[in-house]
Structure 1
Amino acid sequence: MFRTFATLAVLSLAAPAFADGHSTGDAEAGEKAFKKCKACHMIADGDNVIYKGGKSGPNLYGIIGRQAGALDGYKFKDSIIAAGEAGLVWDEANLAEYVADPKKFLQTYLDDKKAKSGMSFRLKKGGDDVAAYLKSVGPAMEEAEEETSSDS
């Protein structure tokens, strides 16, 4: 229990660094690193395919800002659904931590040693870059680009 409290305390102190929406990752490097993810994941907004990839993992379009385990049409494992129901919403920081060790992340988040992830792959380096890339190709960035071009 103390370990969970200590982890939460550290994360809460680090949260202001991420609160302003600035990424610590490099989206360009993340696009290159995403090649490791495409075996299972794609990035597509309907028929608009941003990055063609596998379908055994969920579509990662719009993952930043989405509740964990809450994508219509994808069957998530119980632990990721429980994390979402407990309040986990993906941001760049927690997504980067998750991809480094999905099982450990869920066990810590849920304070449950039996928690498991459907994702067995671990991205040892570049998780912050991949998270920045996913944010850069998500709906928030597309909307911002549309607003910028309509202001001209």
Structure 2
Amino acid sequence: MAEPLDRLREQIDDRADEDGEFYVACADTDRRPTPLAGRRFPSESAAREAADRAATYRALLRESDPALPEYRLAVYETPRDAPTMVSTREPAAGRRSNGLPRSSRSVTLSGEREREWLRMDNAPLVHVRHDGEPLDDDAVARQLDAKL
């Protein structure tokens, strides 16, 4: 089984381009499963071919590990104007109920083509992605529970 898996991985790598504007991810969770994680592609057709090979790759793996998650793979274009988040925190008077010092936090989201999109002062902020991957529900729940 290793040889067909290696061949499929090589075929995906041959289509990949680190400066590509397309990527393949699960249409439901936005996860980029192995062997697609971290790979981008120069065209939609190259990404679609990689998705087909990745589906075959994962089907072969599932023969030896039936519990391997299944993903509905889709091709996406990398946004050219990804938003930027800037966060500042300043000390404030008093302490929180958990004993930590109070602070004032401001968050601003903006993009290249437009100035400021959204600014929040002392509003709850929850991160739902890290390094381009969605966070697990538990990580988001811990942020909500922390009430920072």
User: TM-score, normalised on structure 1?
Assistant: 0.31
More helix by share: 1
| Higher RCO, 1 vs 2 (CA within 8 Å, ≥6 residues apart) | 1
What is the TM-score with the length of structure 2 in the denominator?
0.32
